Amino acid sequence: MPEFMDLEKLVSTFVIPWGINILLALATFFVGRWVANILLKVVKKLLAKSKMDVILINFVTSILHAVLLLFIVIAAMDQLGVDTTSLIALLGAAGLAVGLAMQNSLQNFAAGVMLIIFRPFKTGDFVEAGGTAGVVETISIFSTIMRTGDNREVIVPNGSIYNGTITNYSARATRRIDMVFGIGYQDDIRKAKQLLSDILSADERVLKEPEPLVAVGELADSSVNFNVRPWVKSADYWNVKFDLTEQIKLAFDDNGISIPYQQMDVHLDKAD
């Protein structure tokens, strides 16, 4: 009889209360996770409707999922009677330590979020940023991958990009080519100007509007310098620049117009 009383006391004192707490903790965990998944789906749809970048959507939802799961676990442990106050304080201290240790990474993360939101450039643009010039291949949360003209892959931290000057050469549909060509003082200025204008007019890639400029820009020490400024589509920039440079040099040669180069004349006086 006493053994039966002890067993009944054990069940009523420990087994039933702990069983109820365990069931409540499991219910809290599974119901909380179910609610969290629904909430994450709603947030993901709202962010997608706002046309936010997919990379940022996935990152935000993953962070939100981790935070919600942490709260669910703490709530479940509270149902078991665990003192979660000290656990929360420990997690806060650990978060602070991790934040201090990852200060540079967090800076790159913040810069990556700003780049994705404000979009100063997109994949495929040719940009100069973070001390590197190249075509943007990938924009991630912490870094941006660029491909240089000689096909090198450069990984640039987002913090270096966002905290510096960004030059996007692909942002506009057209670009102006700025070139300077010098001729000798003894050469015919009118003839040279006409040759330059004819070469620009003959190239179909040179846009009619805005009208290309051919003008005398400077009377330099050893040459008369022409400023040649045609407008082209951004995709044609380098090909037109290289072709025009070659065509103008050949045209000057064929028409007897010199292109002076820096030189020094030394005069020696013969002593008597």
Domain map (residue ranges) of the chain: 2-82, 118-168, 174-255
The position carrying tokens 């010039």 is 133
What CATH code would you report for 2-82? 1.10.287
At residue 12 the predicted structure's pLDDT band, cuts being 50, 70 and 90, is: low
| Residue 232: predicted pLDDT | 96
For residues 180 and 228, is the Cβ–Cβ distance under 8 A? Answer: yes
Using the predicted structure, report yes or no on whether residue 39 has a pLDDT greater than 60.
yes
Tens digit of pLDDT for each residue in 225-270? 999 999 999 999 999 999 999 999 999 999 999 988 776 666 667 6
Q: Which residues contact 125 (CB under 8 A, 6 or more apart)?
A: 135, 136, 168, 169, 170, 171
Q: Which CATH architecture has domain 174-255?
A: 2-Layer Sandwich (3.30)
Between CA 65 and CA 74 the distance in angstroms is 14
Percent with pLDDT over 70 in the chain: 77
174 touches 231 (CB < 8 A): yes
pLDDT in tens, 57-99: 776 777 788 788 888 887 877 777 766 666 666 666 666 565 5
Of the candidates 154, 237, 223, 236, the residue with the CA atom closest to the CA atom of residue 189:
223
Quick one: pLDDT at residue 259? 87
pLDDT digits (tens, 9 = 90+) for 99-148: 555 556 778 888 888 888 788 988 889 999 999 999 999 888 788 999 99
The 3-state secondary structure of the chain reads: CHHHHHHHHHHHHHHHHHHHHHHHHHHHHHHHHHHHHHHHHHHHHHHHHCCCCHHHHHHHHHHHHHHHHHHHHHHHHHHCCCCHHHHHHHHHHHHHHHHHHCHHHHHHHHHHHHHHHHCCCCCCCEEEECCEEEEEEEECCCEEEEECCCCCEEEEEHHHHHCCCCEECCCCCEEECCEEEEECCCCCHHHHHHHHHHHHHHCCCCCCCCCCEEEEEEECCCCEEEEEECEEEHHHHHHHHHHHHHHHHHHHHHCCCCCCCCCCCCCCCCCC
Measure CA of the first residue to CA of the last residue in the chain; give whole Å.
145
Average pLDDT over residues 16-26: 72
Q: Are 252 and 259 in contact (CB under 8 A)?
A: yes
pTM over 0.75: no
Residue 10 has pLDDT above 60, yes or no: no
Which tens digit of pLDDT belongs to each residue from 180-197? 999 999 999 999 999 999
The highest-level CATH class for domain 118-168 is mainly beta
Tell me the HSE value of 54 on the side-chain side, using a 13 A CA sphere.
1
